[in-house]
């Protein structure tokens, strides 16, 4: 793993664990399983702040203007 990939993996794991912690805490307080929707929400929020969509294109894709 190179440094960038390892960093992104750690950030993904942090988002998943954060969402899971919110889900577990919310379920413990209210008894409602809907709190586990915090897991995909945390991953989506992490993508908004960390994701770089310009790096998603392959080498053959021209950059967008």
Q: Where are the domains of the chain?
A: 12-51
How far, in Å, CA of 59 to CA of 35, rounded? 40
pLDDT confidence of residue 52:
66
Q: Identify which has the larger pLDDT, 4 or 27.
A: 27
Confidence of residue 12 (pLDDT cuts 50, 70, 90): confident
- pLDDT tens sequence across 17-47: 999 999 999 999 999 999 999 999 988 888 8
CB contact at 8 A, 39 and 13: no
């Amino acid at each position: 793993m190179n440094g960038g990939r390892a960093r992104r993996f750690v950030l993904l794991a942090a988002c998943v664990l954060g969402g899971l912690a919110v889900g577990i805490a919310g379920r413990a307080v209210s008894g409602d399983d809907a709190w586990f929707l915090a897991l995909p929400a945390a991953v989506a929020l992490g993508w908004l702040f960390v994701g770089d969509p310009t790096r998603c294109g392959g080498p053959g894709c021209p950059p967008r203007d």
